[in-house]
Amino acid sequence: GYRSRAAYKLQQLDEMEDLLSHGDRVVDLGAAPGGWLQVASERVGTGTVIGVDLQRIDSLEGVETIKGDMTDEGTRGEIIERIGEADTVLSDMAPNMTGEYSLDQARSVHLARQAFETAREILTPGGDLVVKVFEGRDLDALRDDMEAEFEYVRTTSPAASREESSEVYLIAKGFLTAPVEAGQ
Ligand code: SAM
């Protein structure tokens, strides 16, 4: 079985958007407890999967984990050191909910921006980014910025996440520029 219901969302996103292929190198941000990691590792087979979270992730065969905060630059550096380049960056990061939507939503956009910045540094040309974000303010600007660097961006909501109606996933396919070299 899967560690979280979230696993079904990644399965649906992959079926809709063809995100994960055998041999891919995948970075999963906000990966705890590890449902997406399980789905990703099944689908990439001999590929590489690295999961990052503030929380400790229980070990999972064939998956590397990093305990770190994606709002801290050092964590991004650690990912680059471990994997160099990635074919796919996934982010299911969500802030701790305060219950005040405008605050939670602003934090969600901030986390999504961190995922986008990470993708810009590590994606191989043609690579893909999937990022969860809560609908609202600044989402259009984020999407516009992503559109400048990918062949196309789609906003989607998998059936498995319909209950949490405010969350959507931005699917950015076909990264257009070479990754920025670490430390330069
Ligand atoms: N995709 C996961 C799964 O399939 O099991 C579920 C992810 S859960 C919805 C969101 C995760 O984002 C939480 O585990 C949380 O700790 C993580 N998170 C939130 N802020 C973060 C940050 N700044 N850096 C790293 N992870 C973060």
The rounded Å distance from CA 148 to ligand 1 centre is 26
Whether this model's ipTM surpasses 0.90 comes out as yes
Asked about 132 being catalytic, the answer comes back as yes
d(CA 143, CA 77): 24
> Which domains can be identified in the chain, with CATH numbers?
6-175 (3.40.50.150)
Tell whether the model's pLDDT for residue 179 goes beyond 80: no
Catalytic residue chosen out of the listed positions 9, 67, 132, 173: 132
Per-position b or e across 51-80, b if 16+ CB within 10 A of its CB: bbbeeebeebeebbbbebebeeeebbebbb
In this prediction the pTM is 0.94
CB within 6 Å of ligand 1 — which residues?
3-4, 6-7, 30-36, 52-55, 69-71, 92-95, 111
Torsion on CA atoms 116, 117, 119, 122, rounded to nearest 10? 180
- Spatial neighbors of 149 by CB under 8 A, at least 6 apart, are 120, 172, 175, 176, 177
Query: For 68-122, how does the pLDDT look when each residue is reduced to its tens digit (9 = 90+)?
Result: 999 999 999 999 999 999 999 999 999 999 999 999 999 999 999 999 999 999 9
Least confident of 25-39, 49-63, 165-179: 165-179
Mutate to test the pocket of ligand 1, among 27, 49, 88, 92 (most ligand atoms within 8 A of CB): 92
Instruction: Tell me the pairing of strands 167-175 and 123-134.
Output: antiparallel
CA angle in degrees (0–180, nearest 5) for 114-146-158: 85
